[in-house]
Amino acid sequence: MTLWLIMALMTAAAIFAVLWPLSRRAPLPAGSDVAVYRDQLDEIERDRAAGLIGEAEAEAARLEVSRRLLAAADVAASAPQQSAGWRRRAVALLAPLLLPLGAAGLYLTLGSPDLPGQPQAARRDLPPEQRSVADLVGRVEAHLEANPEDGRGWEVIGPVYMRLGRYDDAVKARRNSLRLLGSTAAREADLGESLTGAANGIVTAEARAAFDRALALDPEDFRSRYFTGLAAEQDGRPKDAAGVWNKLLSGAPEDAAWIGFVRESLLRVDPDASVPQARPNQAAPETPGPSAADVAAAGQMSPEQRETMVRGMVARLAERLKQDGTDVDGWLRLLRAYMVLGDKEQARASAGEARRALEGNADGLRRLDEAIKGLGLEG
């Protein structure tokens, strides 16, 4: 009903816009100019007879008014005003009919008049499999807005945010689930994974702390062990990363779906590694979705695609450090990343920028100098 009311108001506004100019007073017809000039001629003659103007002035005025009279008479003869008035009346009568009919014709051609209406209550009552992901997420978000202390709700929506690539929202959800439901290895690993996704695949110090807490609660937690190896790789310690992933593969269950991308990660840091082969009865790895683990591992990427992704992450980290150079850990990750990419000159240049940015931070400069020495960037 509201939609039809809005459409009726829009149609009325369009008709008003057309009729308003037609309702304005029409200019005087050209015939009225002829009458005015004739009156002026009579007035000139009266003034001359009364002695108000001389003969010469009266003759000049008569000539000018006569010239205008002839011009007005020509206009009146060539453009009769009756036809123009008739057109204006015709438009005023037809506009209220043609505009609604034209709008209805366009709607019948381009719209969906046969589509039945569906009230919002009916949409809410659809079975879950018929609702869109956005609708389901919106329902959960509305519930959490009204019930912000519902830990289970935050725990449910966290993985959905991860799949949608909304990593900042996932971090918020997983912090809330930890606060409300307590710390477990799975929840700590969830938080670390979200923080890694929010940092474009970089295992930050905060994410590493979350994985350490998860491993303290469960030393066999797969995700925390995997990301610990990834952090070692990003820190420029490929041997340590290879050791972590080798141990992870050696104790992997036969049907573990993640063996494939861990194996590829191991070969990335140690091409000569002897990795366990897939067992005949081992389940095929699931197609990776857009989770932080998949982004970080890049298991389905070619070497060129992987390098492009890594360079993009490094470029974003470098840009962030240009805006805020006080992040010591960020500078150390940037130098190690350049060394992993084989760009030693850029690493040296960034080391100089880091020294200038950390000037006055004695502890930060000490850590930076140790990293520069360990990476062989001196001189």
Between residues 218 and 372, the one the model is more confident about: 218
Tens digits of residue pLDDT in 72-122? 666 655 554 445 556 666 666 666 666 667 766 666 666 555 555 555 554
pLDDT of residue 295: 42
* 235/269 Cα distance (integer angstroms): 12
Q: What average pLDDT does range 361-369 have in this prediction?
A: 88
* 217/185 Cα distance (integer angstroms): 5
Between residues 60 and 113, the one the model is more confident about: 60
Tell me: pLDDT of 280 over 90. no
Tell me: pLDDT of 296 over 50. no
Tell me: pLDDT of 173 over 90. yes
Q: What is the DSSP string of 25-90?
A: PPPPPHHHHHHHHHHHHHHHHHHHHTTSS-HHHHHHHHHHHHHHHHHHHHHHHHS-HHHHHHHHHH
Candidate from 57-61, 206-210, 346-350 with smallest mean pLDDT? 57-61
Tell me: pLDDT of 154 over 80. yes
* 379/377 Cα distance (integer angstroms): 7
Q: What average pLDDT does range 270-291 have in this prediction?
A: 49
307 touches 268 (CB < 8 A) = no
* 72/177 Cα distance (integer angstroms): 89
* Architecture of the domain made up of 304-375: Alpha Horseshoe (1.25)
pLDDT of residue 188: 95
193 CB neighbour count, 10 Å cutoff = 30
Tokens 């000159």, residue?
345
CA 57 to chain centre: 80
* 234/237 Cα distance (integer angstroms): 7
Candidate from 21-30, 202-211, 214-223 with smallest mean pLDDT? 21-30
- φ/ψ of 235, rounded to 5, equals -85, 5
Tell me: pLDDT of 215 over 90. yes
Tell me: pLDDT of 243 over 80. yes
* 122/223 Cα distance (integer angstroms): 41
* Cβ neighbours for 345, distance < 8 A, ≥ 6 positions apart: none
* 226/293 Cα distance (integer angstroms): 9
Tell me: pLDDT of 375 over 50. yes
Q: Which of 95-99, 176-180, 284-288, 332-336 has the highest mean pLDDT?
A: 176-180
pLDDT of residue 323: 83
83 CB neighbour count, 10 Å cutoff = 8
Candidate from 112-126, 180-194, 282-296 with smallest mean pLDDT? 282-296
pLDDT of residue 328: 85
Q: What average pLDDT does range 238-258 have in this prediction?
A: 84
Helices (H) and strands (E) in the chain, counts: 18, 0
- pTM as predicted: 0.45
**Domain boundaries, given as residue ranges, for the chain:** 304-375
* Cβ neighbours for 371, distance < 8 A, ≥ 6 positions apart: 332, 335, 336
pLDDT band at 200 (very low <50, low <70, confident <90, very high): confident
* Cβ neighbours for 327, distance < 8 A, ≥ 6 positions apart: 320, 321
Tell me: pLDDT of 242 over 80. yes
Helix (H) or strand (E) holding 253: none
* 379/368 Cα distance (integer angstroms): 14
275 touches 266 (CB < 8 A) = yes
* 339/351 Cα distance (integer angstroms): 12
Candidate from 115-124, 146-155, 179-188, 369-378 with smallest mean pLDDT? 115-124
Average predicted confidence (pLDDT) for the chain: 75
